Amino acid sequence: MAEDKPSVTYLGPKASYTHQATLDKFSESQYTLTPCITIEDVFCSVQSSSSHRGVVPFENSTNGSVVFTLDLFADLHGKYPDILVCGEAYIKVQHCLLGYQDPNPYSPSSAQREKTPHTSGASSPLGISIHTQNHHPVHVALPLLDSPLSSGAVTPTPLNPLPLKPSARPVGDLRGIRKLYSHPQAWGQCKAFLNTYLKGVERQDVSSTSRAAELVTMDPSGESAAISSGIAAKVFGLKVLARGVEERGDNCTRFFVIRKREERPQPPSTPSSGSLGKAEESNYKSLISFTIPPSSDAPGALAHSLAVFSKYGLNLTSINTRPSGVQNWNYIFFVEIRGRRERDGKGSVNMALEDLGRVCRGWRWLGSWEGGTGMGGG
Ligand SMILES: O=C(O)C(=O)C[C@]1(C(=O)O)C=C[C@@H](O)C=C1
């Protein structure tokens, strides 16, 4: 029975990249996969135990950290004290521009957009005359546009002497597009394409790339488009106007699986009991956050905090920061290290954390998990 299966929540709606990451980790025959509207909803469902696991985006290889997720881990208001990372998934992200083919690319709205100064000066007052049945000629303006017929070359300027050339070209006419929807992470992954073919078009941030596709289907004017996935095109019945619009062919997003900290300690037979050897330990990753006093109060506190990891031979693989909320320019630091915290309290991660407690203001262990394949890095 479906209700008996443990529930896994993810950033939805269906066909988001997060959904793809979820399917990668959890089979639908064993789990009930439930879409959430926001990343915070996923955290809430796990914290409240209404779901067994959650899947959230964490970072993208081109555009960096997903700050919404980092802020939820920073948990400045103490709403998610028991959330821990327990797994990860890497998904290759190939973005598409989804929408409708402009039924009338020379409509007044299309022509109006073409007149905007951002169209790289390519507009010209070209036009054609169509003779109607009663022989009255109707003039239709046909200004030239940088889409879809241009080479995609971007004019170098003194400020940007080597502009990025987009790797994709539109397969359809983009002149009717007046509004773009996507998750804020996606804009930064598709800069060259957007700046070349859709410069100046209004952008609306939404909660996920699949939500963007869904919103496009709700615009009867057909003037909306989304940066989303090819799968979302199928699910929402949209046309792929351009495929592979991301900057880099190796564009990849990393997702975390989150769980709630157990109230009762696990029996010693669970896989995470007993210390590991060096080689085994490096298959594991741990996420830790810490804060330090304002720099004037404790010179060197950051350097001392980071040094504890090398003292125990732990490979520090990334550092992120978010504002601590305590005062301006004071941060919460997130570090990822190779290794895992042991239940018996004896491992090198445990010892490093003990030392960390002596030099920083406060720290939190945010989970240890067996690392996945980083797809060209990680
Ligand atoms: O899962 C989705 O579709 C999302 O919109 C989230 C998200 C992200 O936050 O990184 C996931 C993958 C892409 O990098 C762009 C957006």
Domain residue extents for the chain: 1-91+249-262, 96-243, 282-373
- 237 pLDDT band (50/70/90 cuts)? very high
DSSP class per residue in 36-47: ESSHHHHHHHHH
CATH 3.30.465.10 fits 96-243, yes or no: no
Rounded to the nearest 10 degrees, how much is the dihedral formed by the CA atoms of 168, 13, 73, 45? -170
Distances, alpha carbon 123 to alpha carbons 28, 114, 170, 267, 303, in Å:
52, 7, 18, 71, 56
pLDDT at 317: 95
What local confidence, expressed as pLDDT, does residue 276 receive? Answer: 62
Tell me if 1-91+249-262 shares its fold with 282-373. no
How remote is the CA of residue 183 from the centroid of ligand 1, in Å?
Answer: 6
Q: Which long-range contacts (CB under 8 A, 24 or more apart) does 30-35 make?
A: 30/5, 30/6, 31/5, 31/6, 31/7, 32/2, 32/3, 32/5, 32/6, 32/7, 32/8, 33/7, 33/8, 34/7, 34/8, 34/9, 34/10, 35/9, 35/10, 35/11
Distance of CA 373 from the midpoint of ligand 1 (Å): 18
**Of 110, 101, 105, which is closest to residue 239 (Cα–Cα)?**
101
Whether residue 248 is predicted with pLDDT greater than 60 in this model: the reply is yes
Cβ–ligand 1 contact at 60 (below 6 Å): yes
What is the distance in A from the centroid of ligand 1 to the CA of 228?
9
By CB atoms closer than 10 A (0-12, 13-18, 19+), residue 145 is buried
Nearest CA to ligand 1 atom 4: 208
CB 44 within 8 A of CB 248: no
Q: Which atom of ligand 1 is nearest to the CA of 69?
A: 9
Whether the Cβ atoms of residue 175 and residue 159 lie closer than 8 Å to each other: no
Residue 210 Cβ < 6 Å to ligand 1:
yes
CA distance 292 to 326: 11
Which atom of ligand 1 is least distant from the CA of 182? 5
The whole-number pLDDT of residue 114 equals: 44
> 10-19, 289-298, 358-367: lowest mean pLDDT where?
289-298
What is the percent of the chain where pLDDT is above 70? 76
Phi-psi region of 154 (alpha: psi -120 to 50; beta: other; left: phi over 0): beta
Q: How far apart are CA 107 and CA 325, in angstroms?
A: 50
The runs of H, that is alpha helices, within the chain are 17-25, 39-47, 67-74, 108-114, 184-189, 191-197, 209-217, 230-236, 278-281, 301-311, 348-359
Residue 367: per-residue pLDDT = 98
- For residue range 304-346, what is the model confidence (pLDDT) as tens digits? 999 999 999 999 999 999 999 988 999 999 999 999 999 998 8
Is residue 209 lining ligand 1, measured as CB closer than 6 Å? yes
110, pLDDT greater than 60:
no
- Which of 209, 231, 375 to mutate to test ligand 1, by most ligand atoms within 8 A of the CB atom? 209
- Of the residues 208, 228, 246, 256, which should be mutated to test ligand 1's pocket, given the most ligand atoms within 8 Å of the CB? 208
Residue 207 Cα: closest atom of ligand 1: 5
Nearest CA, atom 6, ligand 1: 208
Cβ neighbour number for residue 204 with a 10 Å cutoff: 12
Atom of ligand 1 nearest to the CA of 58: 10
Q: Is 51 in the pocket of ligand 1 (CB under 6 A)?
A: no
Amino acid letter, residue 161: P
Q: What is the mean pLDDT of residues 200-223?
A: 96
3-class DSSP assignment, residue 355: helix
Residue 297 has a pLDDT of 79
Distance CA 318, CA 329 (A): 20
58, 93, 96, 183: which to mutate for ligand 1, most atoms within 8 A of CB?
Answer: 183
254 lines ligand 1 (CB under 6 A): no
Tokens of 44: 């809430």
The model's confidence at residue 262, banded by pLDDT at 50, 70 and 90, is confident
**Would the pLDDT of 112 be above 60?**
no
At 13, is the secondary structure helix, strand, or coil? coil
- pLDDT at residue 177 is higher than 70: yes
Is the domain 1-91+249-262 a CATH 3.10.129.10 member?
no
Instruction: For a ligand 1 pocket test, name from 18, 37, 211 the mutation site with the most ligand atoms within 8 angstroms of its C-beta.
Output: 18
Q: Calculate how far, in angstroms, residue 275's C-alpha sits from the geometric centre of ligand 1.
A: 35
Q: Residue 289: CB within 6 Å of ligand 1?
A: no
Q: Is 35 in the pocket of ligand 1 (CB under 6 A)?
A: no
Residue 324 Cβ contacting ligand 1 at under 6 Å: no
74 alpha carbon – ligand 1 mean position (Å):
20
69 touches ligand 1 (CB under 6 Å): no
The reply to whether the predicted model has a pTM over 0.90 is no
Helix axes 39-47, 67-74, angle to 10 degrees: 30
pLDDT higher than threshold 90 for residue 87: yes
Tell which residue, 125, 128, 166, 129, has the closest CA to residue 147: 166
CATH number of 282-373: 3.30.70.260
How many whole angstroms separate alpha carbon 240 and alpha carbon 233? Answer: 7
- Binding site membership of 253 for ligand 1 (Cβ less than 6 Å): yes
Sheet strands side by side (includes 284-291): 316-323, 331-338, 284-291, 362-370
* 11 in contact with ligand 1, CB cutoff 6 A: yes
Give yes or no for a contact between 196 and 146, defined as CB atoms under 8 angstroms apart.
yes
Helix (H, G, I), strand (E, B) or coil at 284: strand
CA atoms within 13 A on the CB side of 336: 19
99 has which bridge partners?
239
Q: What average pLDDT score do residues 76-94 get?
A: 98
